[in-house]
Structure 1
Amino acid sequence: MKILWLDDEIDLLKPHIMFLEDQGMKVIGIDHPLKALEIAKSEDFDVILIDYKMPQISGIEFAREIKKLHPNVPLVLITMVQDKEVMDEAYSIDVFDYLVKPVQPSQILAVLRKLEKDKIKNRAETRRILNYYNAINSLGNDWKDWLEKGRLLFYWMVESPEDELLKEELKTKNQDFATWVMRKYPELLNTPEVPFIFKVFKNHVFPLLKNGERVTLIVFDNFRFDQALELSKAIPSGYNVEIHPIFSVLPTATQFARNSLFSGHTPYDTERRNPGWTRDNLHEKELLEQNLIENGFKNLPHVIKKINSLDAFKQEIFDAGLPLEIYVINFFDMIFHLREAESPLRGLIENAEDYVKLCKFLLESSNFLEKLHTPNIIITTDHGWVKGEKPVVIQGGMEATEGLRFKFGDSLKALEGKPIELMDLKKFGIPQIARMLFLAKGYDFFVYKSDPGKYKKRYMGGLFHGGLSIEEMIIPLIRLKRRLS
C-alpha cells in the first residue's frame, strides 16, 4: 500500500512512518500542502493522510484540491479535536475516515486495514457484477435463455440494487425482450414446453394431487422475482427449495394474468368460455372449479381464500386440512395502488426499493412461513411491476381501461413515444375487448393529451404493471417440499 502523509510537523511522525514501513507499506511524508499537491499530480496513492490544521491551508481545502485530481482516492483526516462541524465538513467531501491526535501507529494501521478490507470487498463485488454481465450476455435468444437472463438479472438486482451497470443492462435487455416477445409470443403460447402462468396447475399442482399428496398454493398479487428471492431467505430449514422463473401473460394485469392462472387457459380462451370474466378478478373460485373438473378432480375437497388485509394475513392459520388449499394474498397490490393515491403511504414508499423493503418487512413480521405445514407448498404470483420513468402521450382509450401500462380502445393514437400496438389480439391470446391494444414497454407509462403535464407530474416514478417488461413478465414460482424427518 502506497501512502502520502501530509503534516506540517511530519518530522515528529518519523516513528509512525517507520512502523508503517515495517508493516510493508510505502510512506511518503510531506510537510507542505503545495509540495504534496505536486507529488499527487505525478504519482498515484492508495490513501492520503491529511493534517486538518496547517499554517498554509486547512486540511479540508487540501482535500478538495486532491479530490479534483483523484476523485476516488481515500482520504483520512487527522484532527486535534473531535469537532462536529469539522466532521460534517469532512464527510461532505467524502473523507473515508478521521483520527484525533495524538495518533498512535496502531490506530493508523487499523484504518488502513479497514480500507484494505473495503478494497477487497469492492474488488469481489466488481468480479461478481462482471460475472453476472458476462453470463447474461453469453446466453442465446430462445425462451429458456430469456428465463435464465431474467433470473440472473433478478439475482443481480438483489445483490447490487444500485449498480449503474445493472440499470443500463435492464434498459438494454428490456428493449431486446420486447422485440423478442412481439416476434415469438404467438408461437410460445402454442408450445407445450414453455412454462406460462396458465400451466401452473397442470405442471405443478395436479401431478402432486394425482399422487395423493396435499398441496398449498400461495398466490401473491403483484410480486416480483426479486421479492421472491428475498422471501426465500426466510424459508424454514425443513423444506427443500426450488425457485423457477416462468412467464406471465399479456397484458400483465391481474384480471388477465390471475384469471389465466386459475382457468388454465390464455386470457382469450378464458374470456371465450366465460364472457366478461376477464374484466375483473372476481371469479377465481368459479375458474378453479372448471379447471379441476376438466382435469379429473371434480369432487376434490379444496378451499380458496382471498386475504385482503395485513390483519387477516397475520391471523390466517394456513391449515384447513384439505388436499388443496389456495390463498390469494391481495394486500400487497392494495399497498401498491394506495401509494399512487393521496395517502400517507406516498411518504413511506418513495421508490421501488422502499416498496420491496416494506413488503419484506410485512412478510417477516407476520411469520406466515412458520404457519405452513403442508408437505408441498407452491408460491407464485400473477405478475410483476416496474417503476414508471418515461411518459408516453396518447389519445383515446379512456373508455376501456384505466391501466397506465396498457390501454384498450377503438381509436388509440400515440402522440409522443412509441408503445407496442396490437390489432390481432386473438393471435396473442388476448380477448378482443376493443379494436386495438397499446402496451407500454420498458419503463414507459401512458398519459393523456388532455393534460399531459398534470399526469406526468402525478405518475412519474410510480409503480405500475400491465405492460411488457422483464420485471412484469418473468415471474417466480417457488416449490417447497418438506424433508422427511
Structure 2
Amino acid sequence: MSNIKILWVDDEIDLLKPHILFLEKKNYTISTCQSGADALEDVDKNSYDIVFLDENMPGLTGLETLTEIKAKRPNLPVVMITKSEEEYLMEEAIGSKIADYLIKPVNPNQILLSLKKNLDHSRLVSEKTTANYQQEFRKIAMDMAMVNSYEEWVSLYKRLLYWELELENIEDVGMVEILESQKTEANTQFGKFVEKNYTDWFSDDDAPVMSHTMFRELVVPELQKNKPTLLVVIDNLRYDQWMAIEDAVNVHYKTRDEVPYCSILPTATQYARNAIFAGLMPAEMEKLYPKYWKNDTDEGGKNLHEADFLHEQIRRLGLDIKWEYHKISSLKAGRQLAQNFRSQKDNDLTVVVYNFVDILSHSKTEMEVIKELASNDKAYRSLTKSWFRNSPLLEIIQQSQQLGFKLLLTTDHGTINVKNPSKVIGDKETSLNLRYKTGRSLSYEAKEVFAVKKPGDVHLPSINMSSSFIFAKDDLFFAYPNNYNHYVSYYRNTYQHGGISLEEMIIPFVVLEPK
C-alpha cells in the first residue's frame, strides 16, 4: 500500500494530525495544503491517487476547487469533507462527480473505509466475487445433475448468466475459463434434455410457453382497452444481451414481470418468428397459409408475411383491437418511426420488429472489423449495449413511456458462438443454415445432433417424402467435407442460430410499466 499518495486539503490541517499519523502507519503517503489555490498548484506538479478536500475554506471554496481539479484531472478521485449536511451542497458535490462525501467530525476508520472503497475497490470486489463463485460452482455442478424440467433449466441458466456478468468485471481469467467450461457442460446436458422431451411438449399441458403459443399466452393477457401496448421483438436477442440493455430501458420503464420462454426448433427467424405471429407451428402454417409460408429451398424472403400471419391470428383469437405492425431493418426506418411514433397512441397494440442484432451477428461472420469488436460474449454484449443506447429503438421506447404505453419486450431466438465443426453430407437441396439442416439422405455424426426423421413429429414441414431435420447441439456448426478447412476457419467463432443451446432456446419476454 506504500505507493498510494494522498493530498489532503484543509485550512485547519493541524487539527488533522492524528488522522494523518494513523494513515501513515498504514503506509499511505500524505501531502497536505491549506487552501484551494495551493491544492491546484500541487495537483499540477504532482501525481496523486486521491484527494481529501474540505468544503468550507476561505478563498476558493471546496466546490470551486473541486471543479478546477476535475477540469485538470477528470479521473482523479476527490472525497469531499464538510461540516454542513445541507442537501444542496451534497447535490452540487455529487453532480461534480465526487468519489465520496464525508461529514465532519470524521474518524480515522471512516477515512480508511473511503480509501478502500475508492482505491482498493476492484481488488476487494474481485476477491469476494471469485470466492463466492467458487462456492456457487460446486452448487451449480450438483444442481446440474438433478435438473429435470424446463423451469429448472431456466433457473440454472440465469444463475450461470448472473455469474458470467459478475466475473466479466474482474481480472481473473482462470475463473472466467472455469465458468465457460461449466456453461459448456450445461449445454451438453440441456441438449440431452431437449432431445428427450421436445417432441412431447406439443401434447403436454405442462409444456413451456413456446414461439407458437407466446402471443396467445403472454401478449394477449396484457392487452387492455384504452391502454396502448407496445410489443418490441428484437431479432436474435440473447438473454445476456437483454440483461446488458435492461438498465437503459429501466430509465423509462420498470420491469414488472420476466417470463423466459422457449424458442421452437429450428431456432431461426424463418421458423420462430413466423410462429410467434401466426400462433402456429410451421407445418400448420404451410398447410393453412401456403401463400404466406416458404420452405428453406423456396426462392424469396422467408419473413415477408408476418403482418398477414398476425392478422390471421388476431382474427382467430376473436380480438377486437386496433393494431399496427412495423418492421425496422435500417437506421432510416427506425428514425422515421421514432419521429412519427405519436401516431400510434390510439392503437391498442403496436408491434415493432427490430432487426439490428441479427444484422450484427451476420456482420461478424462477414466483416473483419465486427469480428474484432465482437470477439467473445462479453464484447458482443458490449456492442449490443452501445448500439441500443444510441439507437432509434431507445427513442421509440422513450416516446412510448411518455405516451403511457405498456411495453412488452422480447425476441424470436438467441444465438451461440460456434467453436467446433461437425461433418455433414447432403444433396444440392439441403438447407444452408449452419446449426440445422433439412433435406434427403443426410449423413452426419449421430451423437452431435438431435435428428428428427419424421418432421411431422415436431410440426415441421417436409420438403419431400424422405426429408429429415438435424439440429446441432453444444457449440457445433455443420461443415461439408469439400473445402473443409477454409470453411471451418471462416465460420469458427461466429454467432449462429438454428440449433439447440441454452443461448438459442431460453429467451426473454419482459413486461414493463412506464415510470
Q: Flag whether TM exceeds 0.5 (same fold).
A: yes
Q: SS of the residue aligned with 1:218? A: strand
Contact 2:255–2:510 under 8 Å retained in 1:
no
Matched, 1:224 2:238: yes
Matched, 1:291 2:291: no
Partner in structure 1 of residue 514 of structure 2: 482
Deviation at 1:22, TM superposition (A): 5.3
Mean Cα deviation higher: 368-377 or 140-149: 368-377
Q: SS of the residue aligned with 2:508? A: strand
CA separation of 1:243 and 1:128: change in aligned 2, threshold 3 A: farther
Contact 2:129–2:166 under 8 Å retained in 1:
no
Q: SS of the residue aligned with 1:265? A: coil
Runs (4+) of structure 1 exceeding 4 A deviation are 18-25, 110-119
Deviation at 1:441, TM superposition (A): 0.7
Question: What's the CA shift string for 1:290-315, capped at 9, x where partnerless?
Answer: 11011112x53211011001333244
Could you tell me how far apart the structure 2 residues matched to 1:113 and 1:247 are? 42
Could you tell me how far apart the structure 2 residues matched to 1:296 and 1:113 are? 59
Partner in structure 2 of residue 167 of structure 1: 180
Partner in structure 2 of residue 274 of structure 1: 289
Partner in structure 1 of residue 257 of structure 2: 242
Mean Cα deviation higher: 282-291 or 125-134: 125-134
Taking the TM superposition and a 5 Å limit, the aligned residue runs for 1:13-412 are: 23=26, 117-130=121-134, 132-133=136-137, 134=139, 137-138=142-143, 140-161=147-168, 163-193=176-206, 194-209=208-223, 213-234=227-248, 235-275=250-290, 277-279=293-295, 280-297=302-319, 300-317=321-338, 318-319=341-342, 320-321=344-345, 322-342=347-367, 344-366=369-391, 367-368=394-395, 369-373=397-401, 374-396=404-426, 398-412=428-442
Partner in structure 1 of residue 463 of structure 2: 433
Q: SS of the residue aligned with 1:121? A: helix
Listed as ranges, the gaps of 5+ residues in structure 1 are 4-17, 26-109
Could you tell me how far apart the structure 2 residues matched to 1:148 and 1:278 are? 36
Contact 2:235–2:358 under 8 Å retained in 1:
yes
CA separation of 1:342 and 1:21: change in aligned 2, threshold 3 A: closer
| Partner AA of 1:371 in structure 2 | Q
Q: 1:424 aligns with which of 454, 459, 466?
A: 454
Could you tell me how far apart the structure 2 residues matched to 1:188 and 1:404 are? 25
Deviation at 1:432, TM superposition (A): 2.0
Could you tell me how far apart the structure 2 residues matched to 1:428 and 1:398 are? 24
Q: SS of the residue aligned with 2:233? A: strand
Contact 2:361–2:494 under 8 Å retained in 1:
no
CA separation of 1:141 and 1:308: change in aligned 2, threshold 3 A: same
Contact 1:405–1:444 under 8 Å retained in 2:
yes
Could you tell me how far apart the structure 1 residues matched to 2:326 and 2:132 are? 42
| Partner AA of 2:331 in structure 1 | L
Deviation at 1:111, TM superposition (A): 10
| Partner AA of 1:191 in structure 2 | D
Partner in structure 2 of residue 85 of structure 1: none
Partner in structure 1 of residue 76 of structure 2: none
Contact 2:434–2:478 under 8 Å retained in 1:
yes
Deviation at 1:372, TM superposition (A): 2.0
Could you tell me how far apart the structure 1 residues matched to 2:123 and 2:480 are? 49
CA separation of 1:270 and 1:195: change in aligned 2, threshold 3 A: same
Mean Cα deviation higher: 413-422 or 464-473: 413-422
Could you tell me how far apart the structure 1 residues matched to 2:496 and 2:190 are? 18
Deviation at 1:145, TM superposition (A): 0.5
Contact 1:394–1:416 under 8 Å retained in 2:
no
Deviation at 1:412, TM superposition (A): 0.8
| Partner AA of 1:120 in structure 2 | L
Deviation at 1:271, TM superposition (A): 2.4
Provide TM-score, normalisation by structure 1. Answer: 0.72
Could you tell me how far apart the structure 1 residues matched to 2:306 and 2:327 are? 10
Could you tell me how far apart the structure 2 residues matched to 1:171 and 1:342 are? 27
Deviation at 1:450, TM superposition (A): 1.2
Could you tell me how far apart the structure 1 residues matched to 2:24 and 2:356 are? 61
CA separation of 1:266 and 1:128: change in aligned 2, threshold 3 A: farther
Q: SS of the residue aligned with 2:215? A: helix
Contact 2:257–2:511 under 8 Å retained in 1:
yes
The number of residue pairs the alignment matches comes to: 384
Q: SS of the residue aligned with 2:147? A: coil
| Partner AA of 2:454 in structure 1 | D
Partner in structure 2 of residue 473 of structure 1: 505
Deviation at 1:338, TM superposition (A): 2.3
Could you tell me how far apart the structure 1 residues matched to 2:502 and 2:416 are? 9
Deviation at 1:188, TM superposition (A): 1.9
Question: What's the CA shift string for 1:331-366, capped at 9, x where partnerless?
Answer: 221222122225653444434433322221111012
Deviation at 1:210, TM superposition (A): 5.3
| Partner AA of 2:486 in structure 1 | K
CA separation of 1:433 and 1:149: change in aligned 2, threshold 3 A: farther
Q: SS of the residue aligned with 1:217? A: strand
Q: SS of the residue aligned with 1:233? A: helix
Contact 1:393–1:417 under 8 Å retained in 2:
no
CA separation of 1:381 and 1:288: change in aligned 2, threshold 3 A: same
Deviation at 1:402, TM superposition (A): 1.2
Listed as ranges, the gaps of 5+ residues in structure 2 are 3-20, 29-113, 296-301
Q: SS of the residue aligned with 1:216? A: strand
Mean Cα deviation higher: 303-312 or 411-420: 411-420
CA separation of 1:296 and 1:127: change in aligned 2, threshold 3 A: farther
Mean Cα deviation higher: 243-252 or 408-417: 408-417
Deviation at 1:388, TM superposition (A): 1.1
Q: Percent identity over the alignment?
A: 28
